[in-house]
């Protein structure tokens, strides 16, 4: 049988991750995200769910939904799919993801409705109803979804609670990575997974062609740029996700501020990030080993130098560092602050993330003319500094994971088209693994494994046990080329057992399988011919 993979989002693109996989009759939706670049078009923002079921009978069409982590491009459409589209089946995610997801969904709902004036597609109450359908899972816990479908979560790094998910139906096995990081950072460990026997690996490919510098070199460069700006009386805007990167960079700045005895205030924009820090304090067991080891003496998320930032402080004099959402400076508070601070050459916008498309962050990094969401030109005189503090793995990490798992097939998602094509060719040429990079709304079919239990005949077993020795006298060249330290210990006679088991798999009408010796098959065929 074939494993059918329908890519509804993140196909040759980064945004609205949603992949529907059919394994031996079981259908799983991995992630249910939105494209955060589109604010005026629900059609572009959400996956096309009608491709799962034209008559919108999603409960019959899906066995379950699996959410890898709480970022909006992986979970943003979930409440819409359950409360508006009507899906009532099981949803699986880790405990931290279940805790943090409602905050992300509600914050996004408020931005879309209150700030942008969009029609409300689902309410706060409906988000709560959606989360009631969620079944939280532990890492490495095998979950029996039904009689045939088994799933298991593995630590992915990336953000707190992020997980890769393994799924098995019959003999067919696969892994969907979501977003992951193969190297540890200051607050999270590296991704960890067992060596599995996979038919298919579906992996993100955000940094498909990039090999990043060491973390320490990036940290030094970031701290140097921030310190230079605030020492000159400037303001530093760091647009970032409220969950994950904000905590990573705050730990870094907190340590630097203590060492350098700096008194310049560091601020969080009010609301979501402060709530997120509370949850990070509670979820220490999901963090890096270094943070866990220090926890009895100090909670790394108790930031002494970080304070709450109010809107009235935007034009206040004096240097400061501000973390504000959203990361892409596409709307909301980060865009509001950016318009005020971009006019001064003393100020700095530090971009720690990855930017694609027509986002403000992408325009700044590519030196394009910048306009806001109302198409008004922004006067940009400030310094712009980009540094990839990304929680995604790089090209080497992707290759290491693929090589470690050695699946029969690989599908790339969550990446830019031309970079994915390069990585696809590299996986095929260097690892000899068939690789695919489907576009959105495209379906890929790959063969799945089917194992058969077979009996063996006595004659075949005896043939396996029979030795087949070969003897070869070593020449002087063999002795010279030997790696044996003492050449005098090299035997003059080499003995090898080139045993070959020659068998034939036979399946009778009752579908019972048996392995016979080739001589038995010839005898059996001869008897069949005489009978006829």
* CATH code for the domain of 58: 3.60.15.10
Residues 408 and 298 in one domain: no
Measured from the Cβ of residue 4, the count of other Cβ atoms closer than 10 Å reads 15
Predicted local confidence at residue 459, as pLDDT: 82
346 or 113, higher pLDDT: 346
Going by their DSSP bridges, the two strands 200-204 and 409-413 should be labelled as: parallel
Q: Model confidence at 498, in pLDDT bands (50, 70, 90)? A: low
447, 469, 486 - which closes a domain: 447
Residues 27 and 46 in one domain: yes
256 or 272, higher pLDDT: 256
Answer whether 73's CB lies under 8 Å from 35's CB.
yes
Mean pLDDT lowest among 161-165, 185-189, 236-240, 328-332: 328-332
Going by their DSSP bridges, the two strands 64-66 and 26-30 should be labelled as: parallel
Nearest alpha-carbon partner for 414 in 10, 9, 18: 10
Residues 59 and 113 in one domain: yes
411 or 306, higher pLDDT: 411
Instruction: List the 266-269 sheet strands across, edge first.
Output: 306-309, 266-269, 320-324, 235-239, 348-351, 383-386
Phi, psi of 285 (to 5 degrees): -65, -15
Measured from the Cβ of residue 406, the count of other Cβ atoms closer than 10 Å reads 14
Residues 240 and 285 in one domain: yes
Predicted local confidence at residue 458, as pLDDT: 84
Residues 499 and 486 in one domain: yes
Q: Which of 204, 219, 248, 327 is catalytic?
A: 204
Predicted local confidence at residue 520, as pLDDT: 80
Nearest alpha-carbon partner for 382 in 446, 435, 329: 329
447, 474, 493 - which closes a domain: 447
Measure the CA–CA gap between 487 and 493, rounded to whole angstroms.
14
Residues 61 and 185 in one domain: yes
Residues 157 and 106 in one domain: yes
Q: Model confidence at 356, in pLDDT bands (50, 70, 90)? A: low
Burial 91-102 (b: 16+ CB within 10 A, else e): bbbbbbbbbbbb
Answer whether 360's CB lies under 8 Å from 335's CB.
yes
Burial of 170 (0-12, 13-18, 19+ CB in 10 A): middle
Measure the CA–CA gap between 39 and 374, rounded to whole angstroms.
12
Measure the CA–CA gap between 205 and 410, rounded to whole angstroms.
11
* Highest-scoring range by mean pLDDT, 15-19, 292-296, 365-369, 474-478: 15-19
Q: Model confidence at 470, in pLDDT bands (50, 70, 90)? A: confident
Predicted local confidence at residue 49, as pLDDT: 96
Q: Model confidence at 352, in pLDDT bands (50, 70, 90)? A: confident
Mean pLDDT lowest among 56-65, 279-288, 315-324, 514-523: 514-523
Predicted local confidence at residue 484, as pLDDT: 46
Residues 350 and 228 in one domain: yes
Residues 205 and 226 in one domain: no
Q: Model confidence at 471, in pLDDT bands (50, 70, 90)? A: confident
For 362-376, what is the mean pLDDT?
59
The total of structural domains in the chain comes to 3
Side-chain half-sphere of 189: how many Cα atoms within 13 Å?
Answer: 17
Mean pLDDT lowest among 132-146, 327-341, 408-422, 458-472: 458-472
Share of the chain above pLDDT 70, in %: 85
Residues 491 and 346 in one domain: no
Residue 318 has pLDDT above 90, yes or no: yes
Measured from the Cβ of residue 218, the count of other Cβ atoms closer than 10 Å reads 17
50 or 273, higher pLDDT: 50
Q: In terms of residue numbers, what domain contains 165?
A: 2-211+391-447
Residues 295 and 437 in one domain: no
204 included as an active-site residue: yes
Answer whether 515's CB lies under 8 Å from 504's CB.
yes
Helix, strand, coil share of the chain (percent; to 5): 35, 25, 45
CATH of the domain at 318: 3.40.50.10890
369, 387, 405 - which closes a domain: 387
Which residues does 261 contact at the CB level (< 8 Å), separation at least 6? none
Measure the CA–CA gap between 455 and 515, rounded to whole angstroms.
6
45 or 452, higher pLDDT: 45
Residues 300 and 367 in one domain: yes
Residue 483 has pLDDT above 50, yes or no: no
467 or 396, higher pLDDT: 396
């Amino acid at each position: 049988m074939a494993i059918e993979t329908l890519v509804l989002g993140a196909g040759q693109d980064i945004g609205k991750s949603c992949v529907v996989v059919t394994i031996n009759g079981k259908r799983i939706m991995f992630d249910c995200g939105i494209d955060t670049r589109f604010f005026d078009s629900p059609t572009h923002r959400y996956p096309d769910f009608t491709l799962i079921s034209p008559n919108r009978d999603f409960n019959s069409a899906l066995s379950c939904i699996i959410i890898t982590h709480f970022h909006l491009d992986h979970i943003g459409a979930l409440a819409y799919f359950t409360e508006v589209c009507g899906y009532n089946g099981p949803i699986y995610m880790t405990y931290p993801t279940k805790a943090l997801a409602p905050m992300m969904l509600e914050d996004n709902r408020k931005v879309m409705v209150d700030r942008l004036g969009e029609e409300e597609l689902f309410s706060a109450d409906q988000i709560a109803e959606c989360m009631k359908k969620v079944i939280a899972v532990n890492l490495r816990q095998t979950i029996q979804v039904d009689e045939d479908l088994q799933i298991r979560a593995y630590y992915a790094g990336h953000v707190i609670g992020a997980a890769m998910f393994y799924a098995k139906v019959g003999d067919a096995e696969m892994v969907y990575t979501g977003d992951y990081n193969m190297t540890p950072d200051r607050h999270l460990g590296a991704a960890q997974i067992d060596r599995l026997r996979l038919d298919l690996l579906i992996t993100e490919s955000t940094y498909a062609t990039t090999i990043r510098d060491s973390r320490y070199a990036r940290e030094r460069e970031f701290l140097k740029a921030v310190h230079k700006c605030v020492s000159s009386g400037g303001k530093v805007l760091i647009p970032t996700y409220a969950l994950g990167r904000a905590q990573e960079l705050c730990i870094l700045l907190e340590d630097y501020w203590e060492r350098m005895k700096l008194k310049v205030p560091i601020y969080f924009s009010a609301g979501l990030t402060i709530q997120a820090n509370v949850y990070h304090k509670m979820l220490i067991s999901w963090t890096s080993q270094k943070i866990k080891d220090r926890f009895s003496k100090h909670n790394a998320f108790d930031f002494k130098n970080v304070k709450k930032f109010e809107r009235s402080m935007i034009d206040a004099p004096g240097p400061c560092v501000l973390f504000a959402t959203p990361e892409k400076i596409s709307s909301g508070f980060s865009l509001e602050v950016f318009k005020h601070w971009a006019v001064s050459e003393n100020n700095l916008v530090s971009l720690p993330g990855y930017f694609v498309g027509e986002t403000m962050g992408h325009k700044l990094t590519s030196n394009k003319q910048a306009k806001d969401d109302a198409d008004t030109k922004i006067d940009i005189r400030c310094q712009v500094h980009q540094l990839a503090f990304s929680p995604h793995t790089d090209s080497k990490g992707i290759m290491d994971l693929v090589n470690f798992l050695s699946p029969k097939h690989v599908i790339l998602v969550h990446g830019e088209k031309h970079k994915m094509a390069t990585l696809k060719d590299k996986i095929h040429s260097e690892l000899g693994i068939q690789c695919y990079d489907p576009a959105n709304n495209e379906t890929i079919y790959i063969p799945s494994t089917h194992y058969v239990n077979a009996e063996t005949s006595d004659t075949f077993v005896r043939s396996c046990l029979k030795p087949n020795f070969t003897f070869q006298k070593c020449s002087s060249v063999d002795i010279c080329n030997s790696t044996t330290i003492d050449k005098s210990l090299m035997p003059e006679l080499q003995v090898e057992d080139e045993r070959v088991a020659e068998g034939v798999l036979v399946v009778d009408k009752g579908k019972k399988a048996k392995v016979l010796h080739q001589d038995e098959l010839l005898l059996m065929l001869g008897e069949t011919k005489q009978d006829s």
